[in-house]
Structure 1
Amino acid sequence: MIISKATETNIPVIQDLANKSWNSAYAHILEQKQIDYMLGLMYSESTLKTHFENPNYQYYLINEDEVFLGFIGFEFHNEPDTTKLHRIYFLKEAQGKGLGKKALEFVKSETEKSGDKRLTLTVNKNNNAKRFYESQGFKVYDEAIFDIGNGYVMDDYLMEFIIDK
């Protein structure tokens, strides 16, 4: 597995991976119209360019045998002493290979290097990924419903991992 820093030139790769992974991961949780809306909102070229312009926002691509299998996006200092994991997605065929665990270890390490002491993320209440995050040391610290427009909401658990120094 190779984790490489993404650049603006990788936006089409990120969009393709997001489209494929979201349609696999959320098909049983969300309506297709909501998936399409959220992909358009969160992965438009202008949104991704804004992320790349933010020096605290990091994107990394994950590949194996020169094939892109997933990506991660996180933001240092999203809150005081806190890095937020915004995105971690893998293609369906990449799941079960331990790549998610390795990617999370990478994000934890980068969080520690940044000086942040806490790593947070949100996960849909109906998403089985919650169990995966718990197995990696994350704990639920709150719940929230976020209005994302167009009549849609995200009903999520807020999870955190405390960096031990």
Structure 2
Amino acid sequence: MKVEFEIATIEYIPKLLEMMRGFNAVDNYSFNPKITEQNLTDFLSNESLGRLWLISVEDKPIGYVVLTFGFSFEYGGRDAFIDELFIKERFRGKGIGTKTMEFILTEAKRLHINAIHLEVEKHNNANRLYKKLGFNSTNRELFVKRLTD
């Protein structure tokens, strides 16, 4: 199965919104399509924020991955966060997640990123993949304080 990755553009927003709704539904996260559409427009219009790739099989979009950029003194400069990785359910367990992560790791090196962070629910089966690819727990907790609704 040939997996392809394409930088998303504004034209893909309707497809991305549909998949993002699915991503949020997995763990019953709230989803506001209006805010998400504006965030997509802002993100896709500014390369300094990161990259969003559409994942396709046989020229059909089956998922997406978002890499957001940051900066860390602890990690020696530019770092990134895999903010979202979504693959439609019927395509899971077929090696697409592995190919996607290998692609992201290659792209991160090309983009001069020193460390990649990700957050994953404890029940998510992808935890095995991340550990296999060398992601480790820092034995720290990720704390978040929302400043908006």
Please say if residues 61 and 71 of structure 1, whose CA atoms lie closer than 8 Å, have aligned partners that are also in contact: yes
- Cα distance, 1:22 vs. partner? 3.3
CA distance in 2, matches of 1:73, 1:42: 19
- Cα distance, 1:114 vs. partner? 1.2
- Cα distance, 1:132 vs. partner? 2.4
CA deviation map 1:103-130 (0-9, x unaligned): 1111111110111121111122343332
* Worse-matched range after superposition: 1-10 or 70-79: 70-79
CA distance in 2, matches of 1:119, 1:62: 19
Equivalent residue number for residue 73 of structure 1: 66
CA RMSD of aligned residues (A): 2.2
Is residue 47 from structure 1 mapped to residue 39 from structure 2 by the alignment?
A: yes
CA distance in 2, matches of 1:60, 1:126: 25
* Worse-matched range after superposition: 14-23 or 82-91: 14-23
* Worse-matched range after superposition: 74-83 or 114-123: 74-83
CA distance in 2, matches of 1:42, 1:135: 37
CA distance in 1, matches of 2:70, 2:58: 33
From the two aligned structures, give the one with the greater strand fraction: 1
How many residues align? The count is 140
CA distance in 1, matches of 2:141, 2:15: 32
Please say if residues 63 and 69 of structure 1, whose CA atoms lie closer than 8 Å, have aligned partners that are also in contact: yes
- In structure 1, runs of 5+ residues without a counterpart are 27-31, 151-165
Instruction: Report % sequence identity.
Output: 21
TM-score (norm 1): 0.75
- In structure 2, runs of 5+ residues without a counterpart are none
The equivalent position to 1:111 in structure 2, one of 88, 102, 108, is 108
Q: What pairs with 1:78-93 in structure 2 (closer than 5 Å)? A: 78-79=71-72, 80-93=77-90
